[in-house]
């Protein structure tokens, strides 16, 4: 089994794990600031941009991920949607998928985990990848499990399969961005790209 954290607009590597199957998302682990739980990487006109979902009391130690509440005092949804539109409106599949993503930047969710999971479920549905199981309680890794929560990351490095990104005429290929970057670029062919990704030595 592979144990994963919940993630905001998860990365290509994250989706490569989901494609392999036998994954579990752990909502009982502690929230870690500046991690994929509330941060995603996309490609903007001048390079990689990080999008951060604002949460309440992020500095409190040892808070279970399932208890983290979203903070709407800053206009992060508006900023994120504006960044996604500006970055990907020229990509081949953005217009095809945009109406499915936009509600996540207009609506209201109380908990970060619900927001992350519903976005992940959308991405899985669009890509044809099975949504993994979810645990509300902390998961102890058993012998043989692959534990990819940040404090436990191990094993060989992820090697992304290149694809034509939206600003490929001016920027070099940027590996392992949000899976949304791959989806907007390749649409239904995203799975074929994931299948060609591998793990290096």
pLDDT tens-digit map of 169-187? 999 999 999 999 999 999 9
Q: How many percent of the chain have pLDDT more than 90?
A: 87
Interhelix angle 112-127/94-101, rounded to 10 degrees, is 150
Which of these, 182, 179, 189, lies nearest to 168 by C-alpha position?
Answer: 182
Residue 31 has pLDDT above 90, yes or no: yes
pLDDT band at 159 (very low <50, low <70, confident <90, very high): very high
pLDDT for residue 153: 58
Q: Is the pLDDT of residue 151 over 80?
A: no
For residue 155, name the pLDDT band (cuts at 50, 70, 90).
low
Domain range spanning residue 121? 2-199
The pLDDT confidence band at residue 17, using thresholds 50, 70 and 90, is very high
Number of domains in the chain: 1
Strand partners, 178: 11
pLDDT of 2 over the 60 cut: yes
Mean pLDDT across the stretch 100-108? 97
Eight-state DSSP code of residue 11: B
Look over the chain and give the mean of its residue pLDDT values, rounded to a whole number. Answer: 93
Across the range 57-66, mean pLDDT stands at 86
Report the pLDDT averaged over residues 87-107: 97
- The beta-carbon contacts of 54-60 under 8 Å, at least 24 apart in sequence, are 55/31, 55/112, 58/31, 58/33, 59/33
| The pLDDT value given to residue 117 | 98
Distance between start and end Cα atoms, the chain:
21
Residue 154 banded pLDDT, cuts 50, 70, 90: low
């Amino acid at each position: 089994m592979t144990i994963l954290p919940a993630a905001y607009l998860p990365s290509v590597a994250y989706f490569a794990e989901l494609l392999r199957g036998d994954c579990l998302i752990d909502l009982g682990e502690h929230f870690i600031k500046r991690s994929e739980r509330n941060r995603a990487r996309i490609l903007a006109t001048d390079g990689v941009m990080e999008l951060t979902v604002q949460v309440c009391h992020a500095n409190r130690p040892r808070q279970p991920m399932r208890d983290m509440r979203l903070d709407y005092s800053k206009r992060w949804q508006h900023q994120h949607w504006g960044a996604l539109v500006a970055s990907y409106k020229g990509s081949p599949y953005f217009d095809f998928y945009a109406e499915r993503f936009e509600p996540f930047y207009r609506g209201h969710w109380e908990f970060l985990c619900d927001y992350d999971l519903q976005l992940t479920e959308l991405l899985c549905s669009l890509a044809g990848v099975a949504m993994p199981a979810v645990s509300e309680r902390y998961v102890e890794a058993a012998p043989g499990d692959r534990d990819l929560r940040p404090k436990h990351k191990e094993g060989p490095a992820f090697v992304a399969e290149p694809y034509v990104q939206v600003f490929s005429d001016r920027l070099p290929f940027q590996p392992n961005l949000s899976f949304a970057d791959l989806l907007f670029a390749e649409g239904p062919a995203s799975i074929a790209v994931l299948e060609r990704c591998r793990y290096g030595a």
